[in-house]
Amino acid sequence: MRYLKVKWDHDNPTDPALLYSELDVARWEVRKVEVFLDGSKGYASSDESAKSTGLGLEPLPFLEDIAADPQFKPVEITKEEFETVWTARRSSV
């Protein structure tokens, strides 16, 4: 598994500002948490979802491809960091 955090620089309150993704070996999202500008969260897995958040319909691009768009700042994070965000996902939903 791989874990990503992507900061999305924008001013639209309906789009997430932070995206956390757990990816399988083929880069498909397994779990995802989105954090919006107002601090609310959406999340998705194969078993549950909240807000408008859903798992990707295609495998996620590689970090350098995401970073090619200057509004996105992707970094690989640890499993522990992702699990902390996943555990807190229901706060401010």
Which domain, by its residues, includes 26? 2-87
Q: Rounded CA gap, 39 and 3, in Å?
A: 21
pTM for the structure as a whole: 0.93
Query: Would 92 be classed as within a structural domain?
Result: no
Largest CA distance in the chain: 33
In a domain, 29, yes or no: yes
Q: How many domains does the chain have?
A: 1
Q: What is the number of other CB atoms lying within 10 angstroms of the CB of residue 37? A: 15
Confirm whether 93 is domain-assigned: no
Give per-residue pLDDT as tens, 28-86.
999 999 999 999 999 999 999 998 999 999 999 999 999 999 999 999 999 999 999 99
For residues 66, 72, 75, 76, the Cα torsion angle rounded to the nearest 10 degrees is: -50
Asked if residue 8 is part of any domain, the answer here is yes
12-41 mean pLDDT: 96
